[in-house]
Structure 1
Amino acid sequence: MHQPAAYSATDRQCCAFCGYGIPTEPVRAPSGAACCSEACSEAIEAGETPPDPPAVTWRTTGVAALDTLLPRGFPSNSFVLLSAVDGIRHRELGTELVWRTLARGEPAVVVALVDPAVAVVQQFLTLGWNVLPFLESGDLHIVDCFTSRLREEHQTPQHQVEWNAFLDRFLEDGATVVLEPSDLRAVEDALHDRLEAADMVGQGIVVIDSLNEVERQGHETGTEQFVKEVRGDVCSRKFVPIFASVTTSGGESFLERSQYLFDGIVEMRHTESLVDGVRLKQLGVRKMDGALYHPDWVAYEQYAGGLRTFDPAADLAAVYGPLSPPSGHRMEAGGGRARGAPQSRQRR
């Protein structure tokens, strides 16, 4: 058996086929090209086309508030948990992640467990993002795991506002209704079928609107297997990232005990420590495997163009307008009584 010889780091070059650095003595293809392995040499000899890209790609989310914390992006094979405490709605973040993906010309799949497909579409439209052309083209698809849990007479309502009836036209082909969402394998199958139909390999995004609902539909063992299955097939094999939302309550749920399953964790919380009497929303990254991230909490709010960070000490009045001061406190020029002089980023 061939034993790789030691190879000086200063002499290393890149493999002519896979593109990675050659850590040992090069294997020469018949053409003389330097390869890292016999397999790469044989691939060149057979005239195979090198894979493109030759490595895990790095992406930005397109969400300004989140990209502030991920200056170099994140690996495309990541399963990222969007974790928020009770009382914070993180639907807007998942919605914007999908919109930014569509806007750069890539497909997206939303796995909807807490709302019917028509409500998912309404969420985009409410934020000013017209996804109707993407539903029509097939670039956006909704895996509907909610509708079949309704009573039969409510699954195809005849009595609804005309606008929703119109939106249903886009969902005839733009959504897949999972008939047995309590069977997590059926959910997996619907997701995999859609990824294959859209040729989602090395492109696009999957957003799961609630892992809490996944946990309710399946018991603990089933939920763990679901996460492992979709992470292994969608993220690791296809290089399609998944962002999944979960609401935490400080208890001992499976998801709170099993955060090791995820490549990244983005957290959202409320705090009153920055400005007296004002409850602000903050965003932070707890972990992002393989990526540089800032260990800061940033204050954020939903603007017309998406989530944005702001400096509570300077921009409070500009963001929220005049605020009533807490009893006995004097309001600062920024619209609140700031503690210290917090910057736009707050150290953990």
Structure 2
Amino acid sequence: MRAVRVHQPGEASALVLDDLPMPVPGPGEARVKLTYAGLNFIDVYHRTGLYPLPLPAILGSEGAGTVDAVGAGVTDVRVGERVAFALHRGTYAEYAVVPTWKLLPVPDGVSDAQAAALLLQGLTAHALALSTVPLKSGNTCLVHAASGGVGLLLTQIARRQGARVLATVGSAEKAALARNAGADEVMLYRDVDFETEVQRLTAGAGVDVVYDAVGRDTFAKGLNVLRPRGTMVLYGAASGPVEPLDPQVLNQKGSLFLTRPTLGHYVATPEELRERAADLFAWLADGTLHLRIDRTFPLAQAAEAHRYIEARGTKGKVLLQVP
């Protein structure tokens, strides 16, 4: 099979299309013939070595396709079934072997592309808005990078929970996307100082939650816009890791809370994974959750896809299509 691997950490050119032996599923596993793989910024961290992996490594942590073989004793999935999965590395490839408890049946009416685009970022948004800080009516949250894959879904789910959403984006085109997703106020961070604007929009009260996937460029000012006992949810670092923080700063700025969630801890059991995925598929089916696929690249153009997401120009989900 063909797969995109990293042999040494580096720039996007470090992604190499290799020919590998066909993987064989073992007990409790199934082999999925992939049709789409989702790109996420963690793939960049893996490629550059910020999050080190044993090398060589196949990148990608979510995908969709059809089960084409099962291991010994497997009865919970069947050959020919359409499935999707997340949080299992190795999806920049024609085939992936996956523990069956991670495989989610794709409902009729949901395409493979939609399933591959929804899961990892949708599960992240679901966990952030319903578990990390359970939003409710009367809350106000600040969502950075609101026009990205997680940002658009997080904005919609936050509004579904009844929260007021303040959003930051990088262009007028992205602002329109954030507004269409339900953001109450949208700030162009290149044109205005979001700290000043948030204080104005909240009459100095600050927000209950900051959802920050940007990191270094936004983190310090984000702490300044939280209300007393508000929560900073740092779930990414697209602009680079944040500077070290003296915990005393949290006291000085209002007894703030700081958390650095990772999705694996929010889908740690099959039951929790399926509950979150069931919500997402149901909301997609009833039209209350809208999914935007920005661009789709062929598997062989994975390096170009990485350059695209690193340029921070994404306007929704980016996919790799597997031939």
Same-fold call, TM cutoff 0.5? no
Q: TM-score, normalised by structure 1?
A: 0.30
Q: Which has the higher Rg, Structure 1 or Structure 2? A: 1
TM-score relative to the length of structure 2: 0.31
